[in-house]
Amino acid sequence: MTGGPWDLLEPGAEARLERLCREEDLFVFANASGSFNALHLPDRDGDGDGRPEGVAPGMWIASLISAVLGNLLPGPGTVYRSQTLRFTGEARAGDTLTAHVRLIEKLPDRVLRFATRVEGPNGRLVTGEAEVTAPARAIPVDTRAVPGLTVRRHLHFERLLALAEPLPPIPTAVVAPETPDALGGAMLGARHTLIAPILVGDPARIADAAEAEGLDLAGQEIVAVADHAEAAARAVALVHEGRARAVMKGHLHTDVLLKAVVARTGGLRTGRRLSHVFVMDVPGLDHLLMITDAAINIAPDLLAKADIAQNAIDLARALGVETPRVGVLSAVETVNPAIPSTLDAAGLSKMADRGQITGGLVDGPLAMDNAVDVGAARAKGITSLVAGRADILLAPNLEAGNMLAKELTFLAHAEAGGIVMGAQVPIILTSRADDETARLASCAIAALQAARR
């Protein structure tokens, strides 16, 4: 990027720059300026009319003039002296704007005067004049050296909630909701019409949790069971009675809940291994990312991994992914007998080819980089419909899967929801560390899976 030095410029010189106004631009401007006017935030109702406005701030529109002056004419090295602005229109996210500058006068000391304007789809938005000090010589700038920005938005979870909220709420047995966070998560799902909770646990503790959380439980069904193991068994029984179509973990150990689920008599077993699927909304990634298994199977063998892969594929299809891509992870992308996970990955790939795993594409072994990044896959010479585009990451063991999911959550600012698959009904496992978005997402995921079943 270079501009024109002062001595080569003549009145009448013009430059223009087009820019698409995106929702992300409005969030970046709000953070950079410190102005959080709700009228200019795309997900807020700024004037009380019941719908979000997302009007682009006038000063953001005007800043496009600075982009033309600083990038094109006169270009890098330009210093603003003054700018007048008259605002005559509005723009919103999705509009393409064009900023124009025209040199109208050269003044002493390398000062230039420009007529400036910004136009949108419906005409002029901003007009004015600018005075700048031009650079004495052309200054090249490599824009690739400028750090990029990623806005922490969770559009994929918003889409899941939009898909699930019109569905009838699924009756859900909530086991031991005896702390504020456990009870609050269940009632949050109820307020969004995702689940219809049946609270199974100690009524006194549930009442204390409701008081601490400021919740009104009037009209709420409570099944009185004091012991956690008995509460888990009662929740499973509610499924068999047809009163519940999902089970949700409250304030009890996961092992206690799953023991009731996998009981040979009266449990919720199917012919498939139980496995947990994290569904993750990673900022900057253009699709949902699923990680499995990070919560139940410690060191699964080949057949267990086949069930884990099938469970994840079935869930992905319920969430709207037509042909899920499963990347089977290892430390390397070639088969090495010294690394057992590469042998499992190769076996899973062939099982998918032979129809033993259905509904998706399975490939491996893949290292993490070439599972999620097309450039990394190409650099390694990997030709695959999955490499670089994986929707599902199948970890070699629980430790690797758990660390991967937690790294994405706490370092990449991903939101994570998830359920247990392979039982007769979805099982919602929530964590005390989950925020409202994660709890809602888990309920929405369970609702969509239950609707598909």
3-state secondary structure string across 276-290? EEEEEECCCCCCCEE
> What pLDDT digit, counting tens, does each position of 342-356 carry?
999 999 999 999 999
For 216, 217, 232, the CA distances from 199, given in Å and listed in that order, are 13, 10, 11
What per-residue confidence (pLDDT) applies to 23? 86
Calculate ∠ Cα 243-249-254, nearest 5°: 130
- Mean pLDDT over each residue of the chain, to the nearest integer: 91
pLDDT band at 4 (very low <50, low <70, confident <90, very high): low
What per-residue confidence (pLDDT) applies to 154? 72
What per-residue confidence (pLDDT) applies to 18? 94
Q: Report residue 436 as tokens.
A: 């409202």
DSSP character string of 383-396: --SSTT--SEEE-S
Residue 1 has pLDDT above 60, yes or no: no
> Is 365:342 a contact under the CB 8 Å cutoff?
yes
> What pLDDT digit, counting tens, does each position of 211-241 carry?
998 999 988 999 999 899 999 999 999 999 9
The CATH architecture to which 271-422 belongs is 3-Layer(aba) Sandwich (3.40)
Which residues touch 136 (CB under 8 Å, ≥6 apart)? 5, 6, 77, 110
> What pLDDT digit, counting tens, does each position of 189-213 carry?
999 999 999 999 999 999 999 999 8
Calculate ∠ Cα 393-397-399, nearest 5°: 100
6-10, 168-172, 243-247, 393-397: lowest mean pLDDT where? 6-10
Report which residue type is found at 384: S
> Is 360:316 a contact under the CB 8 Å cutoff?
yes
Q: Where in the chain is the domain with CATH 3.10.129.10?
A: 6-145
What per-residue confidence (pLDDT) applies to 210? 93
Helices 302-318 and 340-353 cross at an angle (nearest 10°) of 60
Closest C-alpha to 8, from 99, 100, 81, 75: 75
Using DSSP's 3-state secondary structure scheme, residue 14 falls into: strand
The whole-angstrom separation of Cα 339 and Cα 89 is 63
What per-residue confidence (pLDDT) applies to 141? 78
The whole-angstrom separation of Cα 335 and Cα 347 is 10
**CA atoms within 13 A of residue 36's CA, in its CB half-sphere:** 4
What per-residue confidence (pLDDT) applies to 205? 94
The whole-angstrom separation of Cα 106 and Cα 116 is 15
The whole-angstrom separation of Cα 295 and Cα 143 is 43
> What pLDDT digit, counting tens, does each position of 280-329 carry?
999 888 899 999 999 999 999 999 999 999 999 999 999 999 999 999 99
Q: Where are the beta strands (DSSP E) in 336-413?
A: 361-366, 392-394
Residue 2 has pLDDT above 70, yes or no: no
pTM, entire model: 0.79
> What pLDDT digit, counting tens, does each position of 65-113 carry?
999 999 888 988 899 999 999 999 999 888 999 999 999 999 998 999 9
The whole-angstrom separation of Cα 317 and Cα 323 is 7
Strands 392-394 and 325-329: parallel
| Mean pLDDT, residues 408-436 | 87
Instruction: Write the class of the CATH domain 6-145.
Output: alpha beta
pLDDT band at 242 (very low <50, low <70, confident <90, very high): very high
Calculate ∠ Cα 239-433-149, nearest 5°: 120
β-pair partners for 418: 278
DSSP character string of 171-236: EEEEE---SHHHHHHHHHHHHTTSEEEEEEE-HHHHHHHHHHHT---TT--EEE--SHHHHHHHHH
CA 256 distance to own-chain centroid: 31
Phi, psi of 288 (to 5 degrees): -60, 150
Q: Report residue 435 as tokens.
A: 């925020």
Q: Where in the chain is the domain with CATH 3.40.718.10?
A: 271-422
The whole-angstrom separation of Cα 188 and Cα 190 is 5
Residue 162 has pLDDT above 70, yes or no: yes
Of residues 2 and 122, the one with the higher pLDDT is 122
| Strands of the 427-428 sheet, one edge to the other | 222-224, 195-201, 170-175, 246-249, 427-428, 415-421, 275-281, 289-292, 392-394, 325-329, 361-366
> What pLDDT digit, counting tens, does each position of 264-280 carry?
889 999 989 999 999 99
**CA atoms within 13 A of residue 239's CA, in its CB half-sphere:** 25
What per-residue confidence (pLDDT) applies to 46? 64
The DSSP H or E segment spanning 292 is strand 289-292
Burial grade of 217 (CB within 10 A; 0-12, 13-18, 19 or more): middle
What per-residue confidence (pLDDT) applies to 3? 59
